[in-house]
Amino acid sequence: MPALATFGETMVRLSPPAGERLETARNLAFRTAGAESNVAVAAARLGVESTWLSKLPDSPLGRRVTGDLRRHGVEPNVTRSADGRQGTYYLEFGGEPRGTDVIYDRERAAITTATVDDVDLEAIRDAEVFYTSGITPALSETLRETTAALLAEATAAGTRTAFDLNYRSKLWTSDEASACFEDLLPDVDLLVAAERDAREVLGREGDDEAVARDLRRAFDIDVVVLTRGSDGALAVDATDTYRQPAYDADTLDPIGTGDAFVGAFLARRLRGASVPEALNDAAATAAIKRTLSGDLAVVTPAEVEAVLDGAAADISR
């Protein structure tokens, strides 16, 4: 059975070439994208058997999603629905001062009606780690209930649980998210959160270490990881605090960088690495992802090792 099981929505991402507007573009790049499947892909590319659980429409677009994930080593474990549609989002890249814009088109997506009965619970019980993120319960009241039930099911089965806050202001308010997260976090063993979200959504104060330790203590979490953008990441466990700088990268596409970080962190931990070792691999994988178009971290272990070893980027002949 797969060591890692993830649950959540995967969308189809459509984006015009950099610098072009959606309203005038003649061509759109077509990609698969979703936090939980992104994490599964990163872990699978780094050698960890992974499965992604979800609900999809029985349609060409739904089949496109599962085909893309299989191509990168992830086994989709989905319920096919005759109702609902395939969620999509549009990504319009733009430099300063315009910035990059995301437009969601995910109303009535099949995943929003997913209940516990739509999920293969044995896949979660048999996995070593079960992962989901704060995007999933933001999509519908049904998914709030389902996410809570799946985390509780994993905990009861002895499966370790991992959760990324992944707060999205276009999906719900910070007060709505905070109330939901407060209910979910007691069933979480590993929490990943952007430092900004830990402060603004969960209301934590103090320096970064104080914020992480407060979260760990409040919810009895084994490991808390705070991501800090270009300032790297920080993790706390029962014994120590670990700081990890970010690796320099030429950013071609930042979307999915956080998911690459989480997928690599989980992959290394599943293979017995310490927290600081896993942080190092996660930072290296995130740097590589920033050089890749699309949400998926299409990386190899050798590339990650090259970053860790400080190998200079050059033409490979």
Residues labelled catalytic:
259
In order of 116, 151, 163, 267, 295, the CA distances from 148 in angstroms are 10, 5, 11, 24, 26
| Residue 92 to residue 213: CA distance in whole angstroms | 38
